[in-house]
Amino acid sequence: MTHASPPLVRPVSVRDAGFWRGFALEVVSINASGRNRRSYSDARLSAATSGLFAVADGVSSLPGSAGAAQRCLVYLAAELRGSEARDAAAVARVVAHVNGRIFAEGRARRSGFEPGACTLDAVLLGDDDAAIVHVGDGSIWIGGPGPMRQMTQPDRVLRPSTRDPSRTVARLRAAVGAKPGLTPTTMTLPLAPTGAALIASDGAPDVAALAGNAWFRQDAGTDEFAATLEDYAGAGQDDDLTVVAVRWRRSV
């Protein structure tokens, strides 16, 4: 007996808009399950009114990683909410604390270090600058007023050992919740009056081509870009795919 593969469900983009400290923001985000995945392990965050945008990608071969990705973004948003310090150093401290919480939760379940590993890529807008944080193998692109530039390079997250779970920590080079000592890549960039950011999980193919879309230069409408993003995500990739795209323009 043969079993037909289930039809691909066309992804639908999610749009967000708001004002942040004198900037008008537009956001389009999307996720899609990969053909080789039994469950979806990515999480995305778009909070236009607080200037925080992020993608967390659970290491799907670890039990509990999808929940860890969700918790990572919940904890991140809660700890940054209302914070006056929004530079890279402050964000790094928050991520370190979030990492400790997820790591402790994993240990409390008495299943070694398996629960709780996820990557993290985030952009936090300030008054005059943008802080970015990178853990793992996603990517962040920033533009404005010129073309988009890739600001992070993937730190490959190695596949954990299924035969020897005790070696999971040694095999994970960088993942939130997989080890107690985590040093994220962080930087602070000047915030151009008109600009854009693209955050993509490691499952996103040909991110450079997507980053070249006219939408990031403020030359295309959001409806057009949302349709482009849905086509991009609906191509039937093997891995989970998550993208958060944001553009801003000073409104005062």
Kindly give, in sequence order, each residue whose CB lies less than 8 Å from that of residue 3, ignoring residues fewer than 6 positions away: none
User: pLDDT tens digits for 118-137?
Assistant: 999 999 998 889 999 999 88
**Confidence band, pLDDT 50/70/90 cuts, at residue 115:** low
- DSSP secondary structure, 2-62, as one string: --PPPPPPPP--EEEEEEETTEEEEEEEEEE--TT-SS--EEEEEEGGGTEEEEEEE-TTS
Radius of gyration from C-alpha coordinates of the chain: 18
User: pLDDT tens digits for 62-88?
Assistant: 777 888 899 999 999 999 986 778 889
**What pTM did the predictor assign?**
0.88
Task: Give the pLDDT score at 181.
Answer: 83
- Give the span between the Cα atoms of 132 and 82, in whole angstroms: 18
The single-letter DSSP state of residue 116 is T
Closest CA to 20 of 126, 112, 106: 126
Domain ranges of the chain: 14-250
pLDDT value at 252 more than 70 = no
Q: What is the mean pLDDT of the chain?
A: 84
Distances (CA, A) of 178 to 34, 38, 102, 125: 23, 22, 8, 27
In a 3-state reduction of DSSP, which class is residue 206?
coil
Cβ atoms of 191 and 125 closer than 8 Å? yes
Task: Give the pLDDT score at 1.
Answer: 38
Question: Which CATH number is associated with domain 14-250?
Answer: 3.60.40.10
